[in-house]
Amino acid sequence: MEKKNRGILEALEYVDRRILYSLMIIVVAVPLIHPLGLPMPISSFTRTAYNAIEALKPGEYVIWASDVDAGAWAECGPQSIAFLNHLFRIPNIKIIIVSFIPAGTDLVLLALKEVDLHDKKYGIDYVILPYIAGGETAKAIFFSDVYKVVTLDVYGTHLEQMSIMKDFKNVNDISIYTGVVSPMTPLEEYIRQLVLPYKKPLIVGVISVNVPTLMPYIKSGQVTAYLGGAMGAAEYELLIGRPGSGLAQADSISTSHLMILLLVLMGNILYIIKRVRGGKK
Amino acid sequence: MSLIRRREISLALAAIGGIIMISDYFINVKAIKDIAAMLQSWGVILAIFCIFLSTGNLVIYHVQRLSRQTKEERGWSGLVLLVMSLFVGTYLAGRQDLFNILFNAIYLPINQAIYGIIGFFLITASYRAFKVRSLEASLLLVSGCAVILKNAPIGSWLWEGVIPIGTWFNEVGGLGGNRGFVIAAALGAFSIGIRVLMGLQKGFAGEAGGGE
Amino acid sequence: MQIETIIPWMGVAYLLMVWSLLYKENRFFRFAENCFVGAACGYTLTKAIDSLNSSGISPIITKARYDLIIPMILGILILAKFKRNIAFVSQWGVNIMVGIATGLAIRGVLQAQVIVQITATFISLSMMPNPLAYFNNIFVLISVISTIFYFIFTREPSGHLKYISKIGRYAIMLALGPVFASNVLTRMVLLAERVAFFLRVLGIIK
Amino acid sequence: MITNQNILITNLVMFGLLLFFMRKANAGKIPQIRQIAAVDAIAEGIGRAAEQNRPVFFFPGSVALESSEMVQTLAALNVLSQVAQIAADKGAVLKCVAGHSTIFPLMEETLRQAFLTAGTPESYKSDTLLWFSDSAYARDAAVMGMMHRERFATNIIIGRCYVESMMYCETGNFLGALQIGGTAAAIQAPFFVTMCDYALIGDEIYAAGASLSKDPVQLGSIEAQDIGKAIAIVLIIIGTVLLSLGIRFSL
């Protein structure tokens, strides 16, 4: 009996990892197929971000920066869609979309396919600028005089010909600077080139790994608010009342976290049992 | 010939590059700023040639395998070279449309499949590594699990307390260790950097040139 | 049009091929692996040609940046690595890169990562709003000092100093746990995103 | 004309310390450095690989040379130089992967020099050093496949890694390799600590090369770093005392 027991314990402790992998797929897939509607609290920063955008008035300019590469898109994609859905819903604001990371422009075009544009017209209410190379230097120039670094939009039209650009010369004309940022290099450059000299509110979406890196800037007030990873996106989707892919995945994130915790717990119980038994010997 | 082969030349080049970049930070003279900016734009171009070098090396490696290895190995090397030349070929031919199709049909989906796989590794790692083996391991376990529980949306629904506890570990518990870690590592980084610029770090500086 | 409908299915096929590695290494994985290496290499190469044009050749021609001819020559010399007996010339360009990069990396490191961090640790023990803040600040102070102490290599700690070193090790572990945890979150999101993609293509979810 | 004076002073102080202690060590007063388990494990792991007739894997982190974290790659190359010499001595086959195209020429030179020093320049073969593109996940796929096929006895992964730390270490674990990992990035350290048999964390990766090579100059600079750390501790204590007494100041 004793021997058999030990066998089970051993088997559990050295469980084939393929079994764990299959369990994981099930745990992730089931809530996707049958949403469990697990409760989800909304963090205060997501709410701050939402309120700041909600408070925009007609005629105000917003810059949306898509500073994100493909690797971060799983988290920043839902964030972008949620953010842009909200921005496009607010009547008569002007949205300038820009990117300082090569893949950013392609990705934001991808996101816009899933965004409800309401009655916003390209060239009048929003414009997409092409990728701007040159890192921090380019940002500094862009903020002081847009036309010095970019003269054409992403489709090759001259910016002077667009009515949206009439009242927009530099970053002093905007109310909020917002966007998704990953990797974090552009963020530090924004702090130096945008927040410190121009004192503009900065609202960003970042992937969850980068939240600790962002914390010091949040605490110092240099970044006004942030969305943290896919959970931030899910919360934002809840706030704007448009459930999207972020919210759909929130349940499976909950279940997979629980499973990891249960596994850790089980592993430790087995370990302690084994130690106690070994000690008796 | 023997003069230009000297190791001192390449070491001096590294030192000059480094000194200019450091002076740029501390001395506010336009000439230095200009030279530093110029050097940085040189660096960009040099980096591109590193890509050519590395790619050339990979191509040579696979071409050699084409003639030496077993039939299956040859097939794999052939596949690498074929896909690669498809990308470069459509690009050089100016067929952006075909290039995009290749990108979306090969590069992007495999890329996503690979980053999706990492989650699995994390499970086995947590299962195996988070054990109360010693006080050290237990601290890792406790602080890790507290934050996992805080991060899971369901955590705060199970028990309100997970948020303050998780936040404490995130913002206070780990702060000191993190700071000490960063301070010590920065001193190490500075010291190896200085050694490299002074030419005291043997190894990759091209000793005596060549190696024949 | 046709290709757009096939691409998601190819995505599913690749997903299965790549994830089959979790079971064991097999030919399907090797197919995906080698396709990907070829694709990535080709992609990197096209990007390199692109930027050689935009940051090298075109500034020389249009903006008369003749200084850029020097890195072009040094860059071509880097390729001399292919021929062992003249390989030493490749070291010039490489070492300039090393110099620039090292200079950039270390010039501000002591300020950003030592002085700022030290200053942030200063606390006033005489005025604290509440006992918890008091405890937290002392806790951080002790863990910073002991962690730095742990990283001292040339003096073997003896006697009671050994405990400081040990506390330093514990402080590091407390710092690493939360980092691990936030990675769990990101990775689970990516995993869930891929599973959702899989289910969507198969038509199981919308 | 001089900007960032405070930073300049800090840098000069540290530079002075380094010069002083490197000279002192060069003159024969070589400091002893404490044993680091992971460093001892490197030689042991390579020896084990040679006995089992299986190769050793080395990866120096994946950042580009232009990155501000490239110093960690320099530390990794420092270790690689020693690893290659030990491998040549013990007759183990070494296989390296370059994390980025800009690191490739540096690794090549390091390996060739190390093999030359060990007296076996022929140890450098066409598959000793490979690079699989600057796309991180393509390299990861290739390395995971390589690990499965080559069955490395020892994996040495030192430097600034991103997610590949997890992929390589777990694959290595699955295949039963002895693993030695190291990084000075706090954000990656937990993976090495939990998944590797031996981990070098933080400043240890900078000390590892010195500890392996016993090069007096390097050991001297380690001592200078230690003095720097002692100064940091003293500064923290002084600052806290002054502030508690109500004296305001700025650094």
Tokens of D152: 């490395």
- SS3 percent helix, strand, coil of chain A, rounded to 5, is 60, 15, 25
Tell me, what's the pLDDT at B211?
34
pLDDT of residue D200: 93
Number of domains present in the structure of chain B: 2
Q: Which residues of chain D does C43 touch, with a Cβ-Cβ cutoff of 8 Å? A: 133, 135
Indicate the DSSP class of residue B64: H
Q: Among D203, C125, D169, which Cα is nearest to B182's?
A: D203
Model confidence at A6: pLDDT above 70:
no
Work out the average pLDDT over A48-69.
90
Band of residue A59 on the pLDDT scale cut at 50, 70, 90: confident
CB contact under 8 A, C185 and A229: yes
Q: What are the tens digits of pLDDT across the range D6-64?
A: 889 999 999 999 999 999 998 988 898 888 899 999 999 999 999 999 999 999 999 88
Backbone angles phi, psi at A207, to 5 degrees: -75, 155
Which residues of chain D does A213 touch, with a Cβ-Cβ cutoff of 8 Å? 187
Number of domains chain A contains = 2
Q: Which residue would you say has higher pLDDT here, C2 or B20?
A: B20
Locus of tokens 């007096």: D216
Cα distance between residue B84 and residue A52, in whole Å:
48
Tell me the C-alpha distance between A50 and A203, whole Å.
10
For residue D53, give every residue at least 6 positions away whose Cβ sits within 8 Å of its Cβ, in sequence order, or none: none
* Interface contact B115-A256, CB threshold 8 A: no
Contact between residue D155 and residue D179 where contact means Cβ atoms under 8 Å apart? yes
Structure token digits, residue C200: 């969507």
Residue A198 lies in a domain: yes
C9-40 burial code (b ≥16 CB/10 A, e <16): ebbbbbbebbbebbeebeebbbbbbbbbbbbb
Kindly state the average pLDDT of the residues A248-274: 87
pLDDT for position D49: 95
Q: What is the pTM of this model?
A: 0.86
pLDDT at site D138: 92
| CB spacing of B84 vs C41 below 8 angstroms | yes
B32 lies in some domain: yes
Residue A128 dihedral angles phi and psi, to the nearest 5°: -115, 115
DSSP annotation string for B127-170: HHH---SSHHHHHHHHHHHHHHHHHSTTHHHH-TTHHHHHHHII
Which chains touch A (3+ CB pairs under 8 A)? B, C, D
CB nearest to D174's CB, from A17, A71, A212: A17
**The token pair that represents C47 in the structure block:** 């990007």
More confident residue, A182 or C41: C41
In this structure, what are the phi and psi dihedrals at residue C176, rounded to the nearest 5 degrees?
A: -80, -30
Kindly report which listed range (A149-153, A201-205, B115-119) carries the lowest average pLDDT score.
A149-153
Please check whether residue A209 touches C, CB under 8 A: yes
Centroid of chain to Cα D211? 11
What is the DSSP track for B62-84? HHHHHHHS-HHHHHHHHHHHHHH
Residue B43 lies in a domain: yes
Do residues A102 and A222 both lie within one domain? yes
Query: What's the mean pLDDT in A221-250?
Result: 84
Q: Which residue has the higher pLDDT, D43 or A214?
A: D43
Instruction: Please check whether residues A28 and A141 belong to one and the same domain.
Output: no
A72-120 pLDDT, tens per residue? 887 888 899 999 999 999 988 999 999 888 778 888 888 888 888 888 8
Give φ, ψ of A214 to 5 degrees: -80, -25
DSSP string, B167-182: HHIIIIITHHHHHHHH
Residues of chain A above pLDDT 70, percent: 96
Here the tokens at position D103 are: 């690191």
The set of chains that have 3 or more CB pairs under 8 A with C is A, B, D
**C154/C60 Cα distance (integer angstroms):** 52
Amino acid occupying residue A140: A
Q: What is the rounded CA–CA span in Å between residue C46 and residue A137?
A: 25
Q: What is the pLDDT of residue A278?
A: 75
- Enumerate the residues of chain D whose CB falls inside 8 A of the CB of residue A17: 174
Positive or negative torsion for Cα B189, B190, B193, B195: negative
Beta strands in chain A (DSSP E): 61-68, 94-99, 126-131, 174-182, 202-206, 225-228
The one-letter code for the residue type at A274 is: K
Q: Which residue has the higher pLDDT, C112 or D176?
A: D176
Q: Between residues 98 and 157 of chain C, which touch chain D (CB distance below 8 Å)? A: 98, 101-102, 104-111, 114-115, 118-119, 121-126, 141, 144-145, 148-149, 151-156
Where are the strands (E) in chain B, listed by range?
A: none
Any domain includes B58: yes
Residues B13 and B88 in one domain: yes
Give first-to-last CA distance, chain C, whole Å.
21
- A188 lies in the same domain as A210: yes
Cβ of D137 within 8 Å of Cβ of A17? The answer is no
Task: Check residues B15 and A156 and name the one with the higher pLDDT.
Answer: B15
For residue A65, which phi and psi values (nearest 5 degrees)? -105, 130
What does each C-alpha distance from D109 to A130, A171, D66, D73, D124 come to in angstroms?
Answer: 40, 48, 18, 14, 11
A109/B contact by beta carbon, under 8 A? no
Contact B196, B14 (CB under 8 A): yes
Same domain, A198 and A262: no
| Pick from A188, A201, A130: nearest CA to A159 | A130
User: How much is the average pLDDT of C56-72?
Assistant: 87
CA distance A42 to A32: 21
Task: Work out the angle at residue A135's Cα, subtended by the Cα atoms of residues A132 and A139, and round it to the nearest 5 degrees.
Answer: 70
Q: What was the pLDDT predicted at A38?
A: 75
Check whether residue A192 and residue A255 sit in a common domain. Answer: no
- Are D116 and D198 a contacting pair, CB within 8 Å? no
Report d(CA B98, CA B104) in Å as an integer.
10
Rg of chain A over all Cα atoms, to the nearest angstrom: 24
For chain D, the domains span: 32-214, 216-251
Contact D111, D97 (CB under 8 A): no
Other CB atoms within 10 A of residue C119 CB: 13
Q: Are residues A268 and A156 in the same domain?
A: no
pLDDT, mean of residues D106-129: 91
Distance CA A142, CA D211 (A): 49
Average pLDDT over residues B182-196: 92
Structural domain harbouring A275: 2-34+249-280
Burial label for B6, CB within 10 Å (0-12, 13-18, 19+), is middle
Per-residue model confidence (pLDDT) at position D93: 95
**Same structural domain, A14 and A102:** no
DSSP secondary structure letters along A153-200: -TTS-BGGG-GGGTT--SGGGEEEEEEEEESSHHHHHHIIIIIHHH--
**Closest partner CB to C111 (pick from D7, D239, D243):** D7
Residue A39 resides in a domain: no
Cβ proximity of D202 and D189 under 8 Å:
yes
Q: B10 or C143: which carries more pLDDT confidence?
A: C143
Look up residue D141 and give its two tokens: 């796929």
Distance CA(D107)–CA(D96), nearest Å, equals: 9
In this structure, are residues A267 and B131 in contact, taking their beta carbons and an 8 Å threshold?
yes
Consecutive H or E run containing D201: strand D198-201
Look at residue A37 in the predicted model and tell me its pLDDT.
74
Tens-digit pLDDT profile for residues B67-122 = 877 888 888 988 888 998 999 999 898 887 888 888 888 988 898 899 889 889 98
pLDDT, one tens digit per residue, over D182-238 is: 999 888 899 999 889 999 998 999 999 889 988 899 999 999 999 999 999 999 999
Q: Which of A81, A90, A89 lies closest to A56, judged by CA?
A: A90
Amino acid at position B88, single letter: V
CATH architecture classification, D32-214 = 3-Layer(aba) Sandwich (3.40)
| Residue closest to A176 by CA, chosen among A74, A55, A279 | A55
The answer to whether residue A101 neighbours chain C at the CB level (below 8 Å) is: no
* CATH code of the domain in which A167 resides: 3.40.50
Q: Do the Cβ atoms of A209 and D136 come within 8 Å?
A: no
- Does residue A157 belong to any structural domain of this protein? yes
From chain C residues 16-35, the ones with a CB under 8 A of any chain D CB are 18, 21, 24-25, 29-30, 32-33
> Residue D131 phi/psi, 5° resolution?
-135, 135
Residues in Cβ contact with B4 at an 8 Å cutoff, skipping those fewer than 6 apart: C89
**Which residues of chain D does C177 touch, with a Cβ-Cβ cutoff of 8 Å?**
190
- Its domain, for residue B33, covers 7-94
